[in-house]
Amino acid sequence: GAVVSQHPSRVICKSGTSVKIECRSLDFQATTMFWYRQFPKKSLMLMATSNEGSKATYEQGVEKDKFLINHASLTLSTLTVTSAHPEDSSFYICSAIDGVGTFGSGTRLTVV
């Protein structure tokens, strides 16, 4: 079946630095990918919709200048958390649709 690969699986960074998370569709093309954030014991919250070759669409309340999304090819979307702070620590998950939703394994971001 369809596979979405997400890297890194875990990252620790210092406050004020930026972190990039990659999401790749391995055996299908994805013109659209989705980025979610999940806090402990909570459900997934959609942050933004990544569109190949155009600007991402952000959900209400998500800072687009803080969470930069680039979708430069049909198989790769990246999420960059800029000037990360401890409150950005969370589990970030990407997804693409290949008939049904296919999700990456998630990235655990810890900002210290």
Partner 1 sequence: DAKTTQPNSMESNEEEPVHLPCNHSTISGTDYIHWYRQLPSQGPEYVIHGLTSNVNNRMASLAIAEDRKSSTLILHRATLRDAAVYYCILRPIHFGNEKLTFGTGTRLTIIP
Assigned token pair, 17: 């630095």
Residue closer to partner 1 by CB (options 82, 98) is 98
Q: Does 67 bind partner 1 (CB under 8 A)?
A: no
Residue closer to partner 1 by CB (options 82, 97) is 97
User: Please, what sign has the CA dihedral across residues 96, 56, 89, 87?
Assistant: negative
Residue closer to partner 1 by CB (options 82, 89) is 89
Residues 81-110 that bind partner 1 (CB under 8 A): 91, 93-95, 97, 100-106, 108
Minimum CB separation of residue 41 from partner 1 in Å reads 9
Q: Does 77 bind partner 1 (CB under 8 A)?
A: no
Residues 3-42 that bind partner 1 (CB under 8 A): 4, 6, 31-32, 34, 36
